[in-house]
C-alpha cells in the first residue's frame, strides 16, 4: 500500500516493537516529529535537555532492557552532540539506532545552515551508517539498521535522512513485516553474510580442544567480560563456572554477568582489580576469557599477562582475537552458544587446593566507622536501603570504581557504566533510560561532583517525567581519579583538578523542582536515603567526603598486574 515516507519510518519502528524514543527536535527533523505527533499513543517520546543526554538515555535503555534503543536528533550541532553518546555505545557494544535528518538534497555540500556530514563523522564509531536519499529505500534501510545493531556483536547504527526524503507529500510502497519475519528476508540474510553479522556457529573441534585443556588444568581462572552481559549468557556462564569449580574474575563491563556475591567470585580484575583476581591471573595455568577484549585496563602489561597460563579467548568478534593479548586457543561464537556446547561436554571438576590459595585473598571492601563520611559508608548505606534488584548507573572516576567494588551485581543490565570510552556525564542519561525501560525498579545514579556538572541539566528531564531517580554525588571538591594519579605519579602537582566552585547541588535540585540534601555523616546519609526512597520524585544527595580519599587497590598503567601502587 502507499503511505507517507515519514509514516513508513514510524511503522518500521513499530515493526521492531519500539515503544520509547529519546530525542530533541530541530529544523530538519520537523517532518519526522510532525508524523510522531500522529503516533504519540503508540510511541512514547522522551524529550531530554540536550542531545547528548538523549544518546545516553537510549543507551541506558538498551543496556538495561536488552532491547535496541532509539534516539532522534536534528542536523548540524544536534547530530554532532550525539557523537559522544554514539562512541560510548560503540565501545561498550550497546545496540542503539540513532536517527538524524540532514538538509535537503539541493543544499547538500554547500555549507548550508546546520549542515554536517554526520554519516562520515560517525563512520568510525558505528557498526554502520546510512545516508537515505531515496524515500523508497526507507523500509529496507530501517530493517537493516535494527538487524545490524542487534545481531552478532551489538552496537550503534546511524541513519541520516535528507530532509526532502521526509517531505510530507512523499509517498512510498510499504508492507508491515514484524521484525521476527523481516530478519529472515533475503535482503537481511544477504546483509548478515556480507557484513559478518550473524554469530558463527562455534567449531566443535575448537570446543573439544578446550574441553581437553580444561581436563589438564590444575589452576583454572575464568574472566567474565562484557560479552556475557550483552549476550545475556549469565545462566550458561554460571553453570560453566560451577562445573569448572574455578575462581571467576569480572571486568568492569562484565558486572552482572556472574553474581558478585557468588562463592567463586574474586572481584574486579586489572588496574583497580582485587588482589585475589590479579594474583589468580598471574598464577593460573589456564585462563579462559569469555567476551573480554583484554583492554589496557585489564591487560595492563600484555607481554606478561597470565604468563604462566594457556590463554583461551571466547568471543563473538574475530577481530578481537590476538588484538591485545596473544592466545593459545580461541573459539569464535556467541558466549551463550559456546558455553552451552561446553556445558554439554564438561564433567564436574573440583579444585579445592587452588581455591584455598586464591579465595582467601578476597578483600572485603572497608566500611570505616567514625563521624567523617566515607565512600564505604555511603555505599554500605545504599546497599542496605535499596532492593536487591536496584539498577545502578554510574559516571566515570573514583565513585565508579568504588561502586563496582562494593555492590554485588546479580544480573545483566543491573550495572550501567561507561567502561570503554570512560564518558563523564553518562550516568544521569543512562539512569533516565533505565527508569523508562524498567519503571518498577529502583534506579540509583552514583556520580562525582566533576561528572555531575557535565550533564546535571538532565535533572529537568527527571522532574518533567516524574522519575524517582536517586542521584548520589560523591562530592570531594576535586576531579578525584585525576587527583589520585597526580598524587601517586605526578609528585602531587595538582594542576587544574580542584573544583572549588559552585553549584550548590542541593539548591540546584530544588531549582529543578526536585528534592536534595547535603550529608556529612552516616546517620544523615541513612535519613536522606529513606526520604529519597519514599518521596516519589527525583532526589539528589550531596555527600561531603575528603578530597584525598583514594580507590584501592591500584596498579599503574603499563605495570605488571600484581605490582600494586596501593593495596
Catalytic residues: 51, 113-114, 163, 481
Instruction: Tally Cβ neighbours within 10 Å of residue 536.
Output: 10
Q: How many Cα atoms sit within 13 Å of 454 on the Cβ side?
A: 19
DSSP 439-451: TTS-EEEEEEHHH
Q: Enter the DSSP assignment of 373.
A: -
Cell triple for 126:
558505528
Task: Check if the beta carbon of residue 105 is closer than 8 Å to that of residue 75.
Answer: no
What distance in Å separates the CA atoms of residue 44 and residue 419, rounded to the nearest whole number? 29
What distance in Å separates the CA atoms of residue 382 and residue 230, rounded to the nearest whole number? 26
Cell triple for 11:
511503522
Burial class (CB in 10 A: 0-12, 13-18, 19+), 169: exposed
What distance in Å separates the CA atoms of residue 464 and residue 58, rounded to the nearest whole number? 17
HEC string of 162-196?
EHHHHCCCCEEECCCCCHHHHCCCHHHHHHHHHHC
What distance in Å separates the CA atoms of residue 4 and residue 169, rounded to the nearest whole number? 7
User: Length of the chain in residues, anyone?
Assistant: 567
What distance in Å separates the CA atoms of residue 58 and residue 21, rounded to the nearest whole number? 7
Return phi, psi of residue 39, to 5°: -115, 15
Task: Check if the beta carbon of residue 444 is closer than 8 Å to that of residue 382.
Answer: yes
What distance in Å separates the CA atoms of residue 445 and residue 432, rounded to the nearest whole number? 9
3-state secondary structure of 8: helix
Residue with cell 571466547: 314
What distance in Å separates the CA atoms of residue 389 and residue 505, rounded to the nearest whole number? 27
Task: Check if the beta carbon of residue 23 is closer than 8 Å to that of residue 74.
Answer: no
3-state secondary structure of 148: helix
Give the helix/strand (H/E) hosting 310. strand 310-315
What distance in Å separates the CA atoms of residue 155 and residue 172, rounded to the nearest whole number? 29
HEC string of 321-364?
CCCCCCCCEEEECCHHHHHHHHHHHCCCCCCHHHHHHHHHHCCC
Asked, as a colleague might, if the bond just before 553 is cis with ω within 30 of 0, I would say yes
What distance in Å separates the CA atoms of residue 260 and residue 406, rounded to the nearest whole number? 9
Handedness of CA 422, 426, 431, 432 (dihedral sign): negative
Q: Enter the DSSP assignment of 160.
A: E
3-state secondary structure of 120: helix
Amino acid at each position: 500500500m502507499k503511505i507517507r515516507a515519514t509514516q513508513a519510518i514510524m511503522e518500521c519502528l513499530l515493526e521492531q516493537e519500539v515503544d520509547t524514543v529519546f530525542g530533541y527536535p530541530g529544523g530538519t527533523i520537523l517532518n519526522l516529529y510532525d508524523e510522531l505527533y500522529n503516533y504519540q499513543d503508540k510511541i512514547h517520546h522522551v524529550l531530554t535537555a540536550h542531545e547528548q543526554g538523549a544518546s545516553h538515555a537510549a543507551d541506558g535503555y538498551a543496556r538495561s532492557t536488552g532491547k535496541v534503543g532509539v534516539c532522534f536528533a536534528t542536523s548540524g550541532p544536534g547530530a554532532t552532540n550525539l557523537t559522544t553518546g554514539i562512541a560510548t555505545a560503540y565501545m561498550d557494544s550497546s545496540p542503539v539506532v540513532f536517527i538524524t535528518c540532514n538538509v535537503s538534497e539541493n543544499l547538500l555540500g554547500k555549507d548550508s545552515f546546520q549542515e554536517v556530514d554526520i554519516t562520515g563523522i560517525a563512520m568510525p564509531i558505528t557498526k554502520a551508517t546510512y545516508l537515505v536519499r531515496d524515500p523508497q529505500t526507507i523500509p529496507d534501510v530501517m530493517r537493516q539498521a535494527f538487524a545490524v545493531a542487534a545481531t552478532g556483536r551489538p552496537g550503534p547504527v546511524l541513519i541520516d535522512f535528507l530532509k526532502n526524503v521526509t517531505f510530507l507529500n512523499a509517498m512510498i510502497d510499504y508492507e508491515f513485516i514484524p521484525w521476527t519475519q523481516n530478519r529472515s528476508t533475503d535482503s537481511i540474510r544477504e546483509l548478515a553474510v556480507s557484513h559478518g553479522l550473524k554469530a558463527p556457529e562455534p567449531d566443535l573441534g575448537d570446543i573439544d580442544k578446550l574441553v581437553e585443556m580444561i581436563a589438564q588444568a590444575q589452576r583454572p581462572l575464568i574472566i567474565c567480560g562484557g560479552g556475557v552481559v550483552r549476550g545475556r549468557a549469565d545462566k550458561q556462564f554460571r553453570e560453566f563456572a560451577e562445573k569448572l569449580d574455578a575462581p571467576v574474575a569480572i571486568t568492569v563491563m562484565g558486572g552482572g554477568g556472574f553474581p558478585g556475591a557468588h562463592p567463586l567470585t574474586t572481584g574486579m580484575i586489572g588496574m583497580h582489580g582485587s588482589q585475589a583476581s590479579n594474583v589468580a591471573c598471574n598464577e593460573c595455568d589456564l585462563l579462559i576469557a569469555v567476551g573480554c577484549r583484554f583492554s589496557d585496563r585489564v591487560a595492563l602489561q600484555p607481554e606478561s599477562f597470565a604468563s604462566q597460563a594457556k590463554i583461551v579467548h571466547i568471543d563473538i568478534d574475530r577481530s578481537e582475537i590476538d588484538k591485545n593479548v596473544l592466545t593459545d586457543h580461541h573459539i569464535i561464537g556467541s558466549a551463550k552458544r559456546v558455553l552451552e556446547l561446553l556445558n554439554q561436554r564438561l564433567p564436574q571438576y573440583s579444585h579445592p587446593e587452588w581455591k584455598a590459595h586464591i579465595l582467601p585473598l578476597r578483600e572485603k571492601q572497608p566500611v570505616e566507622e567514625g563521624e567523617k563520611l566515607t565512600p564505604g559508608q555511603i555505599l554500605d548505606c545504599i546497599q542496605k536501603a535499596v532492593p536487591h534488584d536496584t539498577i545502578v548507573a554510574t559516571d566515570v572516576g573514583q565513585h565508579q570504581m568504588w561502586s563496582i567494588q562494593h555492590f554485588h551485581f546479580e544480573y545483566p543490565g543491573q550495572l550501567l557504566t561507561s567502561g570503554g570510552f570512560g564518558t563523564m556525564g553518562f550516568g544521569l542519561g543512562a539512569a533516565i533510560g533505565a527508569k523508562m525501560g524498567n519503571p518498577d525498579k529502583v534506579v540509583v545514579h552514583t556520580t562525582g561532583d566533576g561528572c555531575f556538572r557535565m550533564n546535571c541539566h538532565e535533572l529537568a528531564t527527571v522532574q518533567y517525567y516524574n522519575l524517582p531517580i536517586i542521584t548520589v554525588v560523591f562530592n570531594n571538591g576535586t576531579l578525584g581519579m585525576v587527583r589520585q594519579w597526580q598524587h601517586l605519579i605526578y609528585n602531587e602537582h595538582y594542576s587544574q583538578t580542584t573544583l572549588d566552585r559552585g553549584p550548590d547541588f542541593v539548591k540546584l535540585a530544588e531549582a529543578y523542582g526536585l528534592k536534595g540534601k547535603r550529608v556529612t555523616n552516616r546517620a544523615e546519609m541513612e535519613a536522606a536515603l529513606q526520604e529519597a526512597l519514599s518521596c516519589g520524585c527525583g532526589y539528589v544527595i550531596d555527600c561531603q567526603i575528603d578530597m584525598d580519599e583514594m580507590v584501592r587497590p591500584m596498579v599503574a598503567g603499563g605495570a605488571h598486574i600484581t605490582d600494586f601502587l596501593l593495596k
